[in-house]
Amino acid sequence: MALGRYSGVAFPGVDGTVVAVVAIVVLTLVHLVDVQFGCRFQNVFTVGKILLIAAFIVAGFSMPYRQKIGLPESLGEIGSVFNPDFAVGLVYVAFAYSGWNASAYIAGEISRPERNLPISLFLGTLFVSLCYVLLNLVFLLTVPAGELAGKIEVGYLSAKAIFGAAGVRLTTLLICLALTSALSSMIMVGPRVASAMGEDIRALGFLARRNTRGVPVRAILIQSSVAVLLALTSAFNFVLTYVGFTLTLFTCMTVLGVFVLRFKEPYLKRPFKTWGYPVVPALYLAVNGWMLCYLVIQRPLPSAFCLMTVASLLVLYKWLTIRQSQSTLLYEEKR
């Protein structure tokens, strides 16, 4: 959806929804061709995105005239970080960081995962954090904060301030290419989650099936169909809140699983352990729980849709696992 909005800025008159749908379809076809082809395509776009981000940051800090920014001048302003709006804003910030854990989705396809996966997660988190902070600093240095409030195309506003009207279209087009890279990465790694579910649950086995080139075709097609449906029927802010709530909820469940596993399997071999346990995961759960509570209060409709989605899928999961256990038991009795 952000890609559609930016394309409409770069080329006035272009329907952003059509652009979003076409991008999803084309990138789906790319990743249906072959695993290696999809990886090469993603690598090229990722390198281009990194170069774009680096160039944008350098250009932003090179501007002779900058907006004045600074730390809060009073304790009252510092206390605003505990208000509901700040909590809701943190959900969107967490969504912006969501790519840090993508390596875990393809752990089964990574060589020496016990060594390379933690390194990838650490470096990915560090790099995403650095880029996020520097980019937001550039936005604040180049555009008055009041003009950024509530805007989706903040990159366009910043590019206009840096390069002027002459270079803003080219810059916006490059931002579209960067968003294409992000979309491509999710089309590549997202279906691997569904594929792993298909390997665990027999009734969802169709999601795990791959073609002769190793591509989980059905999982990719189902995910892309859902993405197209959301692009055609939902508003950007609704989808952002819905997905942000869902991601935050599931990361909380994942972190909670660290405590559960330590309790149930205290002697289990652990190639990698959580740093600062139990303080770090407990602090994470406390902060994210605070964010989710205020998101329910401030954005009740998308939050309710998320909770209904999760609840219905939990019921479906329970039913499928019970059915699978009964089938296995029946098979054993017949033997």
- Summarised one tens digit per residue, pLDDT across range 140-190 is 888 887 777 777 778 778 888 888 776 777 777 777 787 888 888 888 888
Is 43 among the domain residues? yes
Tell me the per-residue pLDDT of 215-229, one tens digit each, with 9 for 90 and over.
Answer: 888 999 999 998 888
What number of H helices and E strands is found in the chain? 13, 0
**Domain contains 91:** no
Q: Which residue has the higher pLDDT, 109 or 264?
A: 264
DSSP labels, 196-226: HHHHH-GGGGGGT---TTS--HHHHHHHHHH
**190 or 271, greater pLDDT:** 190
Q: Identify whether 220 is part of a domain.
A: yes
Claim to verify: residue 218 and residue 254 sit in the same structural domain: no
If asked whether residues 274 and 323 sit together in one domain, one would say yes
- The answer to whether residue 89 sits within a structural domain is no
Q: Provide CB contacts within 8 A for 313, sequence distance 6+.
A: none
Domain count, the chain: 2
pLDDT reported for residue 80: 65
Q: Which of 191, 208, 233 is the last residue in one of the domains? A: 233
Q: Is position 32 within any domain?
A: yes
- Give me the CATH number covering residue 203: 1.20.1740.10
Q: Same domain, yes or no, for 329 and 184?
A: no
Do 78 and 205 lie in a common domain? yes
Concatenate the DSSP letters of all residues of 45-111 into one string. HHHHHHHHHHHHHHHHHT-SS-------SSHHHHGGGGSHHHHHHHHHHHHHTGGGGHHHHTGGGSS
pLDDT at 96 over 90: no
pLDDT of residue 46: 82
**Is residue 93 domain-resident?**
no
Task: At 6, list the tokens.
Answer: 């930016």
Let me know whether 54 and 110 are in one domain. Answer: yes
pLDDT value at residue 49 = 81
210 and 279 inside one domain: no
Q: Model-level pTM?
A: 0.73
Residues 51 and 34: beta-carbon distance below 8 Å: no
Q: In this structure, are 30 and 161 located in the same domain?
A: yes
On whether both 246 and 229 belong to a single domain, the answer is no
Q: Are 271 and 135 within one domain? A: no
Segment 240-252 shows an average pLDDT of 87
- Domain span including residue 244: 234-335
Tell whether 184 and 238 lie within a shared domain. Answer: no
Same domain? For 326 and 262 the reply is yes
Chain-wide mean pLDDT for the chain?
Answer: 81
Question: Is residue 13 helix, strand or coil?
Answer: coil
pLDDT at 243: 84
Residue 333 in this model has a pLDDT that exceeds 70: no
Assess whether 217 and 248 both reside in one domain: no
